[in-house]
A and B are shown apart, each in its own frame.
Chain A
Amino acid sequence: MAGEETPARRIASDFIGNPLAVLGLVLLALVIAVAIFAPLISPQNPYDLAQLDVMDSRLPPGSKALTGGTYWLGTDDQGRDMLSAIFYGLRISLSVGVMSTVIALAIGLTLGIAAAYLGGRTDTVIMRIADIQLSFPAILIALILLAVLGQGTLKIVAALVTVQWAYYARTVRSAALVEKRKEYIEAARCLALPPSRIVFHHLLPNCLPPLMVVATVQVAAAIALEATLSFLGLGLPITEPSLGLLIANGYQYLLSGKYWISFFPGVALLITIVGINLVADQLRDVLNPRLQR
């Protein structure tokens, strides 16, 4: 059955045609699977103190455990299996990144559409705030917020949402301003459809493509930012060690050559971010009308 050319199909065939994009998808799928099934595939529960043995601390990768079994990626200073710690850390990093992106997306989408559709003073106020905020680097804003708010998972999500919403608001607004002038919106208005229907059924779906690209990039940025903040000691609490905190834990042992405590969590972080960015890159090329053949 020779299917017709639908957008979904075109995107799929473009993806398969680009090996880097396929690699990105594979990496991303792997990371998500590991994060979801971490409790099932980890050799050890890294938070269960009964399973840890201080005698096993700071062992190099491939060492045998006292209880049998192998620490493939070595152990940290508390005798925790690094592989398990990374699986669980990935779970925390990924969920914080996705959670903050979803909330920021919802806020940014609402404000951006409101700015574009209502125009006037609403538009000026919302976009001026976004502009001012975007003129400062995300890390600076997040750092100050956390210095003010203190530590904790909810607080770091709040900080990530605060630095991200403006990207979405700006993207949605510029897309919506273009779409708003098109004839189908005018037609919908002439049919006297309620504004909510015009916004949600007509305007919003057509603003989504550029938003998808920004959201993908921002998930990666949020994960990297969270890791950086946790590394600086301002992010997640020690009871919930994300990848950034695992790397920070290994920092003090680095100079004595015990590289694995910092090295492997960083590799996991890198794989996650590269996967997301490769997919985002492909999405951008596919959805960019300026590069359309």
Chain B
Amino acid sequence: MPVFVVRRILQAALVLLVMSVLVFVGVYAIGNPVDILINPLADQLEREQAIARLGLDKSLWMQYWAFLSGALHGDLGRSFVHSTSALGLILERMPATLELALTAMLIAVIFGIPLGLWAGLRPHGIAGRTIMAGSILGFSLPTFWVGLMLIMVFAVMLGWLPASGRGPTTLLFGIPVSFLSLEGWRHLIMPATNLALFKLALLIRLTRAGTREALLQDYVKFARAKGLSNARVIGVHVLRNILIPIVTIIGLEFGSVIAFAIVTETIFAWPGMGKLLIDSINLLDRPIIVAYLLVTVAMFIVINLIVDILYSALDPRVRLAEAKG
């Protein structure tokens, strides 16, 4: 197990390094930020001063080297636009994104697993078919369009919920959160539901497929033959076995929820990392784009690692295979 973890961490560090080169070269090869960031009325001297200040006069390799040595000291460059630390800006926005993503995932899990179980137990019943049809719809609905329609119905037509922004925040362990107040929830619920829909559909389908396959297995037949109650067969024997792939997917999908939050945050003007990324792409604020990517990649790698460890904790068979291998 420790060998496995160490190997995974080394591999992760390599991926991070390769990504940083690719992203840096890619992002720093586009456009000319000088044209965008410097006042067009500025004279030649002012322009040169600005270029030197931003470090844009050095060769690409020098720029990368400065970036890399900075990154190892926790400094991912300064935003061209905001003139503050890029990493600082990202970290400042991160709690809002994490709050949104976690709430969305929670909604997907709370509704997805029971609905999927129900559909899997009665695949040919009316409820089962309705749930499945609903999940196909959830899969097919483009997230951004659903967001617009939610705004149209709940904010414009009914006027129940605010159309955009985040509610007032309070500090919880030093992290600003908005889910402690009613006003915070009023702002949170619509974007979180929007973000949850796709994962909800995914979880329903996954749980349903797992349940259908598990019901045909010998251990379920044996449990029934032993005369166990239906609730115990499903709650313990079926659910325990299908939870393994589900936990993996929940973990892996959390990263994609954070990525998809880019869209939801843009629609609902939610002040998270995703909206910052889109704003930065539009302004060609390259240090922020690079910092966002590296932070996200690092998050993904940590998530994947946690999922792997959880996986082996949930399924003894994985541990056995690991020990043999």
Contact = CB atoms under 8 A, between A and B. Distances in A.
A17 interface: no
Contacts of A20: 133, 136
The prevalent SS among residues of A at the interface is helix
A266 B145 contact: yes
Interface stretch (B52-60, B231-239, B256-264): B256-264
Contact of B23 (A144, A233, A263): A144
Interface in B140-157: 140-145, 148-149, 151-152, 155-157
Interface string B196-227: 00000000000000000100000000000000
B260 A137 contact: yes
B156 A148 contact: no
Given A143-B281, A228-B142, A262 B148 contact: yes
A282 B243 CA distance: 26
Nearest to B145: A266
User: Which of A136, A273, A278 neighbours the largest number of chain B CB atoms within 10 Å of its CB?
Assistant: A136
Interface string A137-150: 10110011101111
A179 B5 CA distance: 34
A14 to B, nearest CB: 15
A85 B144 CA distance: 19
Interface in B257-313: 259-260, 262-263, 266-267, 277-278, 281-282, 289, 293, 296-297, 300, 304
Nearest to A145: B26
Given A140-B296, A277-B136, A277-B140, A262 B145 contact: yes
A135 interface: yes
Contact of B26 (A144, A233, A251): A144
A269 B213 CA distance: 33
A170 to B, nearest CB: 15
Given A231-B144, A263-B149, A270-B140, A150 B259 contact: no
B36 to A, nearest CB: 13
Contacts of A233: 282
A155 B233 CA distance: 53
B263 A255 contact: no
User: Which of B149, B213, B304 neighbours the largest number of chain A CB atoms within 10 Å of its CB?
Assistant: B149
Contacts of B149: 263, 266
B127 interface: no
Interface residues of B, number: 45
Given A150-B30, A232-B266, A269-B145, A139 B259 contact: yes
B293 A274 contact: no
Contacts of A149: 30
Size band of the A side of the interface? 35 or more
Contacts of A234: 281
A224 interface: yes
A262 B149 CA distance: 9
A290 interface: yes
A150 B26 CA distance: 11
B185 interface: no
A232 B277 CA distance: 11
B148 A266 contact: yes
A273 B266 contact: no
Contact of A224 (B142, B155, B255): B142
B291 to A, nearest CB: 13
A231 B263 CA distance: 9
Given A20-B133, A135-B300, A266-B148, A254 B156 contact: yes
A60 to B, nearest CB: 14
A274 B259 CA distance: 23
A72 interface: no
Contacts of B155: 255
Interface in A62-79: none
Contact of B300 (A136, A143, A254): A136
Given A147-B30, A273-B142, 9 more contacts: A135-B252, A135-B255, A143-B277, A143-B281, A244-B142, A255-B151, A257-B157, A274-B137, A278-B136
15 contacts: A136-B255, A139-B260, A140-B262, A140-B293, A227-B142, A228-B144, A231-B263, A232-B278, A250-B148, A257-B156, A263-B152, A266-B142, A269-B145, A270-B141, A277-B139
Leading 10 A-B pairs by shortest Cβ distance:
A266-B145, A137-B259, A137-B256, A273-B140, A148-B26, A140-B259, A274-B140, A147-B281, A231-B144, A277-B140
